[in-house]
Amino acid sequence: MNEIDQIPPGLNYSVWMEAAFFFANAKNDLEKATFYWNKFKPSSMIPQAQVLATEAMIGKLKGEKEYSLSKSKMAMEKLPNMLDKGLAVVLKERLLLLQSF
């Protein structure tokens, strides 16, 4: 993240989104997840499933159960569209865990 300026515009927003997802999902840190999410801007280069999954994870930390569940279901519907099938498998696992709470 310290060298994000060297990443081409459009792609560098994925760094912020992935940081937000990491802090929401792995660290359960709403403050940092929100900080990085606020730096994120949508881009056609970023799979919609990842964006929705990140929104779902942040919603969970905020205690917004219905919002989180809705976003996670939307993300699940978008998983088949991802080019990175390995990441789609990981996201599916995370989303299923989220939905089970």
What average pLDDT score do residues 34-61 get? 95
Mean of all residue pLDDT scores within the chain? 94
Does 64 score more than 80 pLDDT? yes
Q: Give the list of residues 6+ apart from residue 45 with CB closer than 8 angstroms, or none.
A: 10, 11, 14
What band does 1 get if pLDDT is binned at 50, 70 and 90? confident
**Domain extents for the chain?**
7-99
In the DSSP assignment, the letter for residue 8 is: P
The model's pTM? 0.93
pLDDT of the residue at 56: 98
| Among 2, 1, 32, 39, CA closest to 17 | 39
